[in-house]
DNA sequence: CTGTCATAATAGAATTATTCTAAACTGATT
DNA sequence: AATCAGTTTAGAATAATTCTATTATGACAG
């Protein structure tokens, strides 16, 4: 392991610790590893199962239950958002900003659509006593032909 | 049972039979009952479990497996559409036309938004090789305060 | 009508995603 | 170093949905 790699790893770690502390979450071993995997690099969309597989594949010992707990804690802390596109599977998104999604039905993958690219107009007044929490747009795409 | 009620029931039945035949589905006892419940009266949003409960409550003998099968067959035949709003529950919609939804997160209920009221603009070109299948908008609402 | 056959219905088992439980562990603080 | 609330974990439990193997039933030919 080169000096640069060691330094980059240390930086990613420090950043993950800071992020957890800021969210009021104790930076435990598994939370740290999950945070590093989720928040190092570009935004991503993960499934509990696939994040667990990835982290376990990287040699870290975490249970699937902890992955579920952690994803929900991160979501509660505003570090992640849930995306509902598939009745059979829950997705978590590291991009918590204003944006929407393409959903590739065949692949089961999500692609971001920037929030300033897309707009929804003509949403009626919600029934009285109710407030709009959010407006989700899912553009479902399939292979042509 | 009055003469009018008998006639209305017979009409609803004939209509259900016609609808199934048109869809190429054999009008069996349970398909007929389910079709009558689904398509008599205004459009509705149902869950397999709740439709099963309703039909069984009305004294009809149908299994939950058959309700699932039938909902999927109806969907395949274009008589229903599926709506994904809740990771834990699948909804089926008798309104197959162009429209969107309010989703009342607390109640777990859907309310239609007419397709000509709402518009989505600025959807980017999908990645090459992919075609847009449909654009779903879900307006999530919660109790105020 | 009746017999035949492809289709459909059914109970119950199985599967899958997710949550719960209760016990063992560990990060922070003293 | 001792303490303890917060955390992790395996495995059991739950809930929605699908599968399987068997039984029943529409459609229709004779
Ligand atoms: Mn499910
Ligand atoms: Mn869920
Ligand atoms: Zn996203
Ligand atoms: Zn609808």
pLDDT digit string, tens, across residues A62-89: 999 899 999 999 999 999 999 999 998 9
Q: What is the CATH number of the domain that holds B112?
A: 1.10.10.10
- Cα-Cα-Cα-Cα torsion B74, B84, A100, A53, nearest 10 degrees, comes to -110
> What is the rounded average pLDDT of the residues A4-19?
81
% of chain B exceeding 70 in pLDDT: 99
Higher pLDDT, A10 or A96: A96
Question: The tokens of B15 are what?
Answer: 């209509």
The number of angstroms, rounded, from the C-alpha of A62 to the middle of its chain's C-alpha atoms is: 18
Q: Report the C-alpha gap between A5 and A124 in whole angstroms.
A: 53
The number of distinct structural domains making up chain B is: 1
Say yes or no for a CB contact (<8 Å) between B104 and A130. Answer: yes
Give me the helix-helix angle, A29-39 and A3-22, nearest 10°: 110
| pLDDT confidence band for B14 (50 / 70 / 90) | confident
> What is the rounded average pLDDT of the residues B129-135?
95
- Its domain, for residue A45, covers 3-141
CA of B75 to C1' of D26 (A): 22
Say yes or no for a CB contact (<8 Å) between B122 and A118. Answer: yes
- Secondary structure E strands in A20-129: 45-46, 81-86, 89-93, 99-104, 109-114, 119-121
Contact at 8 Å (CB) between B14 and B36?
no
Q: Report the C-alpha gap between A109 and B130 in whole angstroms.
A: 13
| pLDDT confidence band for A125 (50 / 70 / 90) | very high
| pLDDT confidence band for B124 (50 / 70 / 90) | very high
Q: Report the C-alpha gap between B53 and B77 in whole angstroms.
A: 23
Higher pLDDT, A15 or B99: B99
Give A28-56 pLDDT, tens digit per residue.
989 999 999 999 999 999 999 999 999 99
The DSSP H or E segment spanning A39 is: helix A29-39
Residues 85-124 of A with CB under 7 A from strand D: 87
Question: The tokens of A128 are what?
Answer: 């009285």
Interface residues on A facing B, Cβ-Cβ cutoff 8 A: 82, 84-87, 89-90, 102, 104-105, 111, 113, 117-124, 126-127, 129-144
Residue B11 — φ and ψ, nearest 5°?
A: -65, -45
């Amino acid at each position: 392991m080169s000096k640069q790699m060691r330094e980059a790893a240390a930086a990613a770690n420090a950043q993950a610790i800071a992020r957890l502390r800021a969210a009021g979450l104790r930076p435990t071993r598994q939370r740290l590893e999950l945070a590093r995997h989720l928040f190092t690099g570009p935004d991503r969309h993960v499934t509990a199962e696939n994040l667990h597989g990835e982290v376990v594949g990287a040699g870290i010992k975490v249970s699937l239950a902890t992955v579920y707990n952690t994803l929900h804690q991160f979501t509660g802390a505003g570090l992640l958002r849930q995306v509902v596109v598939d009745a059979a599977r829950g997705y978590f998104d590291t991009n918590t900003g204003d944006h929407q999604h393409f959903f590739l039905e065949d692949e089961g993958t999500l692609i971001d659509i920037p929030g300033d690219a897309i707009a929804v107009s003509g949403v009626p007044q919600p029934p009285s006593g109710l407030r709009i929490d959010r407006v989700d747009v899912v553009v479902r795409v399939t292979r042509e032909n």
